[in-house]
Amino acid sequence: MTVDTTKSGPLDFATYHNVINNELRSTATTRHSINPANSKPNPEVPVTTQEDVDQAVKCARDAFKKWSKTSFAERRAALSAYADAIEANADRFAKTLTMEQGKPLNQAATEVGMAVTWIRVMIDIEIKENVIEEKDDLKIVQRHVPMGVAGAIVPWNFPVLLATGKVVGAVYTGNTVIVKPSPFTPYCDLKLAELAIRFFPPGVVQCLSGDDSLGPMLTEHPGIDKISFTGSIATGKRVMASCAKTLKRVTLELGGNDPAIICDDIDIDAVIPKVGISAYLCSAQICMMIKRLYVHEKIYDEFLGKLIAFVKTLKIGDGTEPDVFFGPVQNKMQFEKAKELLGSITAEKLKAVLGGSTDDSHGYFIHPTIIDNPPESSRVVQEEPFAPILPIMKWSDEDDVLEKANALETGLGASVWTKDLDRATRMANQLQAGSVWVNSHFDISPKAPFGGHKQSGIGMEWGLTGLLGYCNSQTLWLRKSS
């Protein structure tokens, strides 16, 4: 197969189409999302029908026959050129991401840059055959073969990075992929697939935008072999139930309510900015970030005062304005949910020492909020806010705080902050989460598997484990004589 690796030219970001079989396709009906920073309508995007899905699946299945037989080297070359092309268009992707998602331009540019890195690093991971036994007349080999057609269902918080992670995982391992963006953020994902036309044969990378009916069309489809889903726990359960009908393979990356435990020996001034950023980046709309902050009672008052002072320095506004840290929350539904949760502060007689209010005069803005020592049973502790609302609690007993940290049904990430590495290791070893950090939170890498324990997910993405999630294990028994 010849792959053209020279096509890094500019992409047009004015009009948006589905990408089916390397063709730009329109649909009879269109829709649009709105810019959450100013409530203005974004461009029209397709509303995919069942017939479009059937066509895309057929093209993906046809493409799989050849693509699955290409070598890792061929797929690496195509993906590498694709990464270069995304990088060449990074500015437009970042602006479009700010327009559709609301995150500040510098955070959008970081996300696009991460997507490029994720491709470049993941295609360097080797998937080896494993010789289980070899003797004179017999060789037993475990190998990893592609599954077929993957459906990549993407949420609205990190549409570029999360879609790209799924595309590279699927395509590098020899599968074909159909991306389904969130209806709130379809724009960058449609353009990522449009750019892919230049590097992959028809049917290998496709993208369908639609309304709420589209996700189930993919999870129900008998022609799709694997669903990689990132989103909420509630939807993840529906996805798994739907996939069970055809026994599709599923990876579920779901919600979290991560604890961070701050010990009494830390350097408060050095830790405050790290904790502040890890709790509020992307207006706290990240699955894996500090959502329950436990601070040792000996330093609680000083820590709280300095955290409030730090968060006050972070600017709130339209993400296109310079130096903004807090953009709007992404959509009306999320805004209303957050407003409702803010209502629980008064209803439950909690104390907001910062924020607690909203501003929807021009977009979906929530003032960064800190709740001072709410009880464990309060809604702000028990629920994932997915908005800049942070509960901070006092602790004194190590066993007790670990029990509280592990008490919920979620288990995505967790962290311990201390100078004492023995203590850190002892505490980290008891945390129930897919990622555990010492003296940081939300470190991620394309080399490192990422996923949740308990109801935060099933399976992992990224790293070798993530790539293997797009493969079936196959055991080959080779008898050397008949």
Asked whether position 276 contacts ligand NAD by CB under 6 A, the answer is no
The residue among 159, 192, 231, 185 whose CA lies nearest residue 33 is 185
Size of the site for ligand NAD (CB under 6 A): 27
Report in angstroms how near the CB of residue 78 gets to ligand NAD at its nearest. Answer: 26
**Dihedral over alpha carbons 322, 323, 326, 328 (to 10 degrees):** 0
Q: Which one is catalytic: 111, 194, 253, 384?
A: 253
- Is 133 considered catalytic here? no
Asked whether position 157 contacts ligand NAD by CB under 6 A, the answer is yes
Cβ atoms < 10 Å from Cβ of 312? 10
Span near ligand NAD by CB under 6 A; candidates 122-130, 132-140, 175-183, 194-202:
175-183
CA distance 254 to 256: 7
Among 18, 96, 219, 283, binds ligand NAD (CB under 6 A): 219
Q: Which is nearer to ligand NAD, 97 or 424 (CB)?
A: 97
Kind of pairing between the strands at 413-417 and 435-438: parallel
What angle, rounded to 10 degrees, do the helices at 187-196 and 72-88 form?
A: 130
Q: Which is nearer to ligand NAD, 169 or 174 (CB)?
A: 169
Q: Which is nearer to ligand NAD, 84 or 461 (CB)?
A: 461
Q: DSSP class of residue 456?
A: T
- Residues 286-305 binding ligand NAD (CB under 6 A) are 287
389-395: strand order across its sheet: 352-354, 369-372, 389-395, 290-296, 258-262, 413-417, 435-438
Asked whether position 452 contacts ligand NAD by CB under 6 A, the answer is yes
Q: Which is nearer to ligand NAD, 159 or 174 (CB)?
A: 159
Asked whether position 232 contacts ligand NAD by CB under 6 A, the answer is yes
CA distance 304 to 295: 9
Report in angstroms how near the CB of residue 298 gets to ligand NAD at its nearest. Answer: 32
* 3 state SS of 74: helix
CA distance 153 to 140: 36
Q: DSSP class of residue 281?
A: G
Among 5, 106, 235, 373, binds ligand NAD (CB under 6 A): 235
Q: Which is nearer to ligand NAD, 111 or 318 (CB)?
A: 111
Query: Measured at CB, which residue is nearest to ligand NAD?
Result: 215
Q: Which is nearer to ligand NAD, 230 or 415 (CB)?
A: 230
Among 183, 201, 368, 459, binds ligand NAD (CB under 6 A): 183
Span near ligand NAD by CB under 6 A; candidates 179-187, 338-346, 348-356, 360-368:
179-187
Among 41, 216, 305, 375, binds ligand NAD (CB under 6 A): 216
Burial class of 129 by CB neighbour count within 10 A (0 to 12, 13 to 18, 19+)? exposed
Asked whether position 182 contacts ligand NAD by CB under 6 A, the answer is yes
Asked whether position 169 contacts ligand NAD by CB under 6 A, the answer is no
Asked whether position 154 contacts ligand NAD by CB under 6 A, the answer is yes
The residue among 106, 92, 91, 160 whose CA lies nearest residue 327 is 106
Asked whether position 255 contacts ligand NAD by CB under 6 A, the answer is yes
C-alpha pair distances (Å), 449 with each of 104, 344, 460, 464? 27, 36, 6, 7
Report in angstroms how near the CB of residue 265 gets to ligand NAD at its nearest. Answer: 31
Asked whether position 156 contacts ligand NAD by CB under 6 A, the answer is yes
CA distance 271 to 46: 46
Tell me, residue by residue from 369 to 408, as one string, x for binding to ligand NAD by CB under 6 A and - for no binding. ---------------x-x----------------------
23-25: strand order across its sheet: 23-25, 18-20, 205-207, 176-180, 149-153, 226-230, 249-253, 457-458
Chain centroid to Cα 42, Å, comes to 23
Span near ligand NAD by CB under 6 A; candidates 134-142, 227-235, 292-300, 392-400:
227-235
C-alpha pair distances (Å), 409 with each of 146, 432, 442, 454, 474? 32, 10, 19, 6, 34
Span near ligand NAD by CB under 6 A; candidates 68-76, 79-87, 180-188, 356-364:
180-188
What angle, rounded to 10 degrees, do the helices at 90-101 and 72-88 form?
A: 70
Q: Which amino acid is at 174?
A: G
Span near ligand NAD by CB under 6 A; candidates 5-13, 42-50, 229-237, 342-350:
229-237
Among 114, 239, 370, 424, binds ligand NAD (CB under 6 A): 239
- Residue numbers of the site for ligand NAD (CB under 6 A)? 153-157, 180, 182-183, 215-216, 219, 230-232, 235, 238-239, 253-256, 287, 384, 386, 412, 452, 457
Report the catalytic residues: 253
